[in-house]
Amino acid sequence: MALAALISAYHESGEPGVLRAALPLAGRTVVERQARLAAAAGADPVLIFVERMPAALTAAIDRLKRERVPVQLVRGAEEAAAALDPYDRVLLVADGAVLTAAQHGRVAAAQGNIVLTVPDGGFGEPYERIDADSRWAGLAAIDGALLAETAGMLRDWDLQSTLLRRTLQAGARHLAAEGPVAILDRDEDLAELERRIVAAADGTGGSWAERMLGPLERAGTTFLMGSPLSPQLLGFTAALLTLLGAISFYLGWHWIGLAKLLVATPLDGMAARLARLRMLSGVRQSWWSYLLPLFAAAALVILAYDLMPARGWGIVLLAFTTLAFLIALAIETDGHPVRGGLFLAERKGMSWLMLPFAAFGLWHVGLAVLFAYAAASFFWAQRAVHAVLQRVQD
């Protein structure tokens, strides 16, 4: 049984001349968030039911198609029914309804016809009343046959409301919503939801350097979230700056090279945050994410080679040994959480750790400290991981 989605995108909002689907949310539009949530739950295709196409909605659909979300426009109930198989399971998403990904998954995985509900008290007119105690939370699951039957008798009735009533008449099970729900109708409805979405994009964990850079990354992401700038472009910029930093070291421009490395450090974090904000997957596996550590390693070795005439071959060996410890550390910690992992050596932290030594012209001392940091991190992680594995075996 395939999973599809049907999103209503034709009701006027409380803002003059703006559809609910086109209300701005976290730098994009409501319908883009809805389509991504449905696709993340496994829906393919994601049908968007429209009656007219204002510029904001047209731009939103174009962005979704460019980013390979399986959206398909339908302009009538019969066209929607024809796009689906009667045996398909269909997520029915109300106009302006934005819920959590967990609730989409919960409804999609449930058996039979399902209507997600909220208590009557505290929820206003956009939430359609189901009975004396409940209102519709904006998400339901039906079968394709029910959609086809409804399309055949719709006439001039509203598709969303008619489908909901037919689903309830067919004995759909009520499922209480778990977590926040929102049916957006006015600008003031957006503020709290947008704050939650931006906060969720922060992610968790990270190194001490990533936490230090967190406020800067968060501010940059908030500034860029409404722009056409893609996370991939931010990641590419980080990789390019790191490469230019390595080239600057080769030319003997040590301070310029380090400055470029430092400027690059928040950019990949901003790319990851922006991708989470827009529900774009695979950013961590983008080509630039593989080049970034390679260029950073090249910068370390090139700096050591540039210092070699004054410090001897030992400084180059030190750089290569540092990289060996970092590779061993990555292998050792792969898939294994390490106590104190916040303080382990990694690219961003090592770039910033070099700054105080560079300030006094002690580049060779800085490289020695990076070597000691990488070695200590490896031995700490090795001890911690093996201790955990030994306890598991015992």
Distance CA 131, CA 394 (A): 57
Distance CA 350, CA 285 (A): 22
* pLDDT (average), residues 310-315: 93
Q: Which of 144-148, 193-197, 243-247 has the lowest mean pLDDT?
A: 193-197
- Write down the pTM of the prediction: 0.83
Q: Are residues 264 and 332 in the same domain?
A: yes
The pLDDT assigned to 186 comes to 85
Where a domain ends, among 192, 214, 237? 192
Q: Which of the four pLDDT bands, split at 50, 70 and 90, describes residue 358?
A: very high
The pLDDT assigned to 334 comes to 83
CATH number at residue 68: 3.90.550.10
pLDDT for residue 173 is more than 80: yes
131 vs 296 pLDDT, higher one: 296
- 137-153 in b/e form (b: 16+ CB < 10 A) is bbbbbbbbebbbebbee
User: Which residue pairs from 312-319 have beta carbons closer than 8 angstroms and sit at least 24 positions apart in sequence?
Assistant: 315/364, 315/367, 318/367, 318/368, 318/371, 319/367, 319/371
Burial class (CB in 10 A: 0-12, 13-18, 19+), 329: buried
Q: Are residues 106 and 230 in the same domain?
A: no
Model pLDDT for residues 202-211, shown as the tens digit of each residue: 766 678 999 9
Q: Are residues 163 and 259 in the same domain?
A: no
Domain span at residue 386 reads 205-393
Q: Are residues 186 and 209 in the same domain?
A: no
Q: Which of 94-98, 224-228, 296-300 has the lowest mean pLDDT?
A: 224-228
Q: Are residues 342 and 376 in the same domain?
A: yes
CATH number at residue 224: 1.20.120.1760
The pLDDT assigned to 41 comes to 92
Distance CA 42, CA 172 (A): 21
Model pLDDT for residues 243-297, shown as the tens digit of each residue: 999 999 999 999 999 999 999 999 988 998 888 888 887 656 678 889 999 999 9
Q: Which span out of 80-89, 232-241, 271-280, 382-391 was modeled with the highest average pLDDT?
A: 232-241
Q: How many domains does the chain have?
A: 2
- 201, 273, 275, 321 from 347: Cα distances, Å: 22, 18, 21, 15
214 and 265 in contact (C-beta within 8 Å)?
A: no
Distance CA 78, CA 76 (A): 5
What DSSP assignment string belongs to 123-134? --TTS-B-SSSE
- The pair phi, psi for residue 330, each rounded to 5°, is -65, -40
Q: Are residues 285 and 249 in the same domain?
A: yes
Average pLDDT over the chain, rounded to whole? Answer: 89
Q: Are residues 180 and 269 in the same domain?
A: no
